Chain A
Amino acid sequence: MNAPVTVNIPIYLDYLSTTPVDPRVVAAMTACMSTEGVYGNAASRSHVFGWQAEEAVENARSQVAELINADPREIVWTSGATESDNLAIKGVAHFYHKKGKHIVTSKIEHKAVLDTCRQLEREGYEVTYLDPNEQGLTTPEMVQAALREDTILASVMHANNEIGVVNDIAGIGEICRAAGVLFHVDGAQGVGKIPVDMEQMKVDLLSMSAHKMYGPKGVGALYVRRKPRVRLEAQMHGGGHERGMRSGTLATHQLVGFGEAARIAHEEMATESAQLEALRERFWDAISDIPEVYINGDREQRLPGALNVSFAFVEGESLIMSLRDLAISSGSACTSASLEPSYVLRALGLNDEMAHSSLRFSFGRFTTEAEVDHAVQCVRHAVEKLRELSPLWDMFQDGVDLSTIEWAAH
């Protein structure tokens, strides 16, 4: 007789928000953090401690460059994707402002891009925020239509952090290159999970984050193309590290961890991606027969381990409360003291109640089938219970069209 498979509760299904550090990465990092380890300053040129640190950092740089098929000299270390986004967008805007002051981006970018663009607007730049289509995609045609004489930069994310859809970065790159507009991609959610190739894609700047690919938090990188050369105005001034683009002593252990995480991601991407897609489909197959349940965002063009689902007539925050066994996040921003539902789902054209009723499930390297199966049971039970409690579900069952009712907004 088979022993029942046990799962550890709570089950982590929030890999898009962050990932645990892979044990192999921990081992590589730990080796940098002892008195016997590589503790020198990579910028020290006068002794072996510095040389060793430099070698470790450069090795990591090569590993990250290999992951995206770039030249190591095109990798600039940063503290994470937020800093990379800031450096790319402000750096380009400030360097090329004499050429033009118009930037194109989408409404469903990460806040690190949106808030940076808002700041540039305050400085006198003009920004066009594109509406994605109903599938959550920003297409090359949309970007093409938004470009102007004075456009200097387009910034479009590779994969969306809330709904997991993947944009046609190669296609947008072609449009931008032909128009002489620099193209920045927030690659935080895509790099390490799906193939990215800087030789093939006409991307000029690419933001990356270590902690989304089983590396440590607090470290990231910005890819800056050399041919044709992209210039940036530094945002952080100091010792002229990273070819003057980002000063500050390099955090050897963090970078070594990022490098190792990139190496693993590169080597295991194909198998891991197939595995995650299988888990995602296993999950969806087991819940898709619940009535009035919908996937948000394009069904095909999406990250292998990510699913954003709306459970109509059930409110997201109470659903999460019911799903105590699962570590997941709500597409609804209710928990952050705001009554506004997710700006991403709104931009897709979802009505408010559907946006309020959505959850993001993201599976990762350490997710098991048993965990997915337990998650399915929890979700089915919670949705059934909350619909039993929902006056909207009652009305829907009675054939009432909710959009015809005049609600008293509060």
Chain B
Amino acid sequence: MAYSDKVIDHYENPRNVGKFDEADESIGTGMVGAPACGDVMRLQIQVSDDGIIEDAKFKTYGCGSAIASSSLLTEWVKGKNLDEAASIKNTEIAQELSLPPVKIHCSVLAEDAIKAAVQNYREKQDS
């Protein structure tokens, strides 16, 4: 299967690979997917006191499209507030990376990941 240039670029040079301390108050962590399905994404956001995402990191087990989707997402969420980040749609990711129909689920997973990270951060603040 041919991958788009953008998928290959993110796959070859993934942005923001890494891990924040999950216990840190300013960190929201979203882990979605399952090894059985061949995709697991862990997306983490570092949020400032005024609710802006200052930094993001990811690690992904999955195909090239899954890695590219999560890498792209870490670039997009930086500088956004939580509502903006949580409203990123999978279709935007799929379009940006020209994902073929069989790889749309990778972008869905990325959308789920950022939503989960935002939710995790908010739960931490509430508790």
| Contact, CB under 8 Å: A391 / B42 | yes
Hey, what's the 0/1 contact readout for B109-122 against A, CB within 8 Å counting as 1? 10010000000000
Q: Is B67 an interface residue (CB 8 A)?
A: yes
Q: Is A410 an interface residue (CB 8 A)?
A: yes
Q: Is B62 an interface residue (CB 8 A)?
A: yes
Q: Chain A contacts of B63 at CB under 8 A?
A: 315, 317-318, 321, 334
| Contact, CB under 8 Å: B102 / A389 | no
Interface size on B, residues (CB 8 A): 31
Q: Chain B contacts of A179 at CB under 8 A?
A: none
Among residues of B, the one whose C-beta sits closest to the C-beta of A313 is B61
| Contact, CB under 8 Å: A407 / B17 | no
Given contacts A407-B36, A409-B34, contact A389 B17 (CB under 8 A): yes
Among residues of B, the one whose C-beta sits closest to the C-beta of A332 is B38
Tell me how far the C-beta of B117 lies from the nearest C-beta in chain A, rounded to whole angstroms: 13
Q: Per DSSP, are chain B's interface residues mostly helix, strand or loop, or mixed?
A: mixed
A352 CA to B36 CA in the complex, in Å? 5
Q: Is B64 an interface residue (CB 8 A)?
A: yes
CB proximity to B under 8 Å, residues A377-410 = 388-394, 402, 407-410
Among residues of B, the one whose C-beta sits closest to the C-beta of A388 is B17
Size category of the binding interface on chain A? 20 to 34
Tell me how far the C-beta of A249 lies from the nearest C-beta in chain B, rounded to whole angstroms: 38
- For this complex, 7 residue pairs linking A to B, each with C-beta atoms less than 8 Å apart, are A315-B38, A315-B62, A317-B38, A337-B102, A339-B38, A393-B61, A409-B36
Q: Is A264 an interface residue (CB 8 A)?
A: no
Most B-side CB within 10 Å, residue of A314, A339, A389, A390: A389
Q: Is A58 an interface residue (CB 8 A)?
A: no
Write the residues of chain A forming the contact surface with B, with a CB cutoff of 8 angstroms: 313-318, 321, 332, 334-335, 337, 339, 341, 351-353, 356, 388-394, 402, 407-410
| Contact, CB under 8 Å: A318 / B102 | no
Among residues of A, the one whose C-beta sits closest to the C-beta of B34 is A407
| Contact, CB under 8 Å: B36 / A389 | no
| Contact, CB under 8 Å: A389 / B59 | yes
Counting from the closest, the 3 A-B pairs by CB-CB distance are: A407-B34, A353-B35, A352-B36
Q: Is B6 an interface residue (CB 8 A)?
A: no
Given contacts A321-B64, A394-B19, A394-B59, contact A402 B35 (CB under 8 A): yes
